[in-house]
Amino acid sequence: MLNANALCSVEELKNHLEIAGVNIQTAFLSLYNSSADATGATFQVTATTLILVVTGGANAGTSTLTFADADKDTLGELVTAINGLGKGWVANSQGLSSADSTDLTIKESTSCLLIADQQVLYGANNARLETYINSTSSFLERECDRSFHSATYTNEEYNGNGRTKFWLKQYPITSITSLTFYDRYNATTLYEMTEDKDYYADLNTGRLDNLIGVWTKDTRNIRVTYVAGYTTIPEDLKVLCMDIIDFQITKKRMIVAQGLWKENAIVIKETLPKNLQLQIQEFKRIVF
């Protein structure tokens, strides 16, 4: 399942990797029909079903297996259901039995009569792709020291810096509900600032300009309630996330090929290409 901070969808990532020439297809199961008296046998994978057709002979007929059914929604269950049909159908799992049946790649009607014409059905491991998206999205948030999705921040505290400007932690700003000078020792509000009268907010950068003086220097003496972040993730940020995943997948395969891969190993930021590191810098939180 994708986390709330995910910067792209699984389908967007699949399309991106396909365009980049990264093969994410994995063998899920093998399939054939053993009916010796049949004149033909085919299978077809749609977004929601596996359609099995036998032409001629005692087993002639069509069987449609629906991925949404509780006993067919994983690949392991789907293999069991195929073999349970009888009618000469033989299926064998190639691994990833717990993957969703909907992970199978859509395929047009394909011949699979007798073992000599056995076919392998492929798919993308969506759960693994979700893990890549979640971990990379969190990595980018940590590196950039900000959250990207729109959210409400209530009474977020800041230290007054004695200057005319300071920057909110999150941006772009959608709206500011309240901005107050706060006496944390006595737990009282000293003064509530009015936008465009007492201060100006640069919505794109999160900068607040004091129009009537300076932000009095003190510890946690400013409280802000506001909405900030992207309601729609910018395309360049989305692509950056997917490019980093592309690099991780490619890098892992190189390490595996060299016999150096260890389970749960991660690609640390220092190994990222310079162009990706520079793109990360563009989204880092502004700190002065």
Query: How does the average pLDDT of the chain come out, rounded?
Result: 91
Q: What is the pTM of this model?
A: 0.80
Assess whether 72 and 184 both reside in one domain.
no
If one counts every other C-beta atom within 10 angstroms of the C-beta of residue 24, the result is 18
Compute the average pLDDT of residues 28-35: 97
- In this structure, the answer to whether residues 91 and 47 fall within a common structural domain is yes
For residue 212, pLDDT beyond 90: yes
Residue 111 vs residues 119, 123, 198, 223, 247: alpha-carbon distances, Å: 8, 18, 74, 68, 37
Same domain, 117 and 219: no
Instruction: Classify residue 228 by burial, with Cβ atoms within 10 Å: 0-12, 13-18, 19+.
Output: buried
One-letter amino acid for residue 98 of the chain: S
Q: What is the pLDDT of residues 117-166, one digit of tens each?
A: 999 999 998 988 999 999 999 999 999 999 999 999 999 999 999 999 99
Residue 277 has pLDDT above 50, yes or no: yes
Instruction: Pick the last residue of a domain from 228, 244, 260.
Output: 228
Helix (H) or strand (E) holding 45: strand 40-45
Q: Is the pLDDT of residue 216 over 90?
A: yes
138 and 259 housed in the same domain: yes
275 and 186: one domain? no
Q: Indicate if 97 and 31 belong to the same structural domain.
A: yes
For 155, the domain range is 151-228
Q: Is 156 found in the same domain as 53?
A: no
User: Does residue 84 surpass a pLDDT of 50?
Assistant: yes
